Amino acid sequence: MKIDGKVALITGASEGIGAACAAELARAGARLSLAARSQPGLERAAPAGALVTAGDLALAETRRRVVERTMERFGAIDILVNNAGVGSYVPSWCAPMEDARRLMELNFFAPLEMVQLVAPHMRARGQGTIVNVSSIGGKMTLPWATLYSASKYALGSLTEGLRMELRRDGIKTMLVCPAFVKTGFQQHVLGGTAPADVIRGRRFAITAGECALAIRRGLERDARTVLPPRAGWLLVALARLFPAAMEARLAAMNGTA
């Protein structure tokens, strides 16, 4: 895909990966519509000429308003980046159901409805790309974030299904599964704290800018899946080839071995 001149709608764009994607796609010539809860954060992240819409993307009203405003301003949506999400470090067996539902609403149902709102416009034009930002936790379950992993597995399956459903309409999908990225993710979780080994592992994390660059390059080559850094593929492969050993290692990191 040639990004120059395309309209990109990015959720969760006030900080972290979303804000970095806004900067990266703007450098590539995209016209931007940015959405997140924080109006000040959006204003800091927004390049010149970007449309910003503040609101809670866990609410259907916000999702509809974001798409309507984008279409009113630009008349098209070429790229949808579903990046907004939230985590939880509370064990799944004792997590409050209200928090579990909130997590699934933002991590799965919000992207699903954004797709349902945007896909008709893309189908009418016979083109478009849907980017769903998942996690390495959507490729291998992280026991310190089981509910988060479950939501990201669901998002990955949705992305693959959409690819087949919309193939004849000229619409592509791309799944993004970052490993550790230096963002404020851990400060915004719904509850719990990451194990010490996980926190120490963040010293190997990539920057949000590096992740955004991988996303841009993935868009340009019509990639199916992007997993930055590429070393993350090794962990995924090990989890599939040696599941028992990997589960034991992850349980030890979680302090449950």
Write out the catalytic residue numbers.
Answer: 148
The answer to whether residues 219 and 129 touch, using CB atoms and an 8 Å cutoff, is: yes
* Of 163, 136, 159, the residue nearest 148 (C-alpha): 136
Strand partners, 31: 7
Q: What is the dihedral of CA 200, 203, 207, 208, to 10 degrees?
A: 0
- Using the Cα atoms of residue 234, residue 240, residue 241 and residue 242 in order, give the sign of their dihedral: positive
Angle ∠(120,215,128) on CA atoms, nearest 5: 20
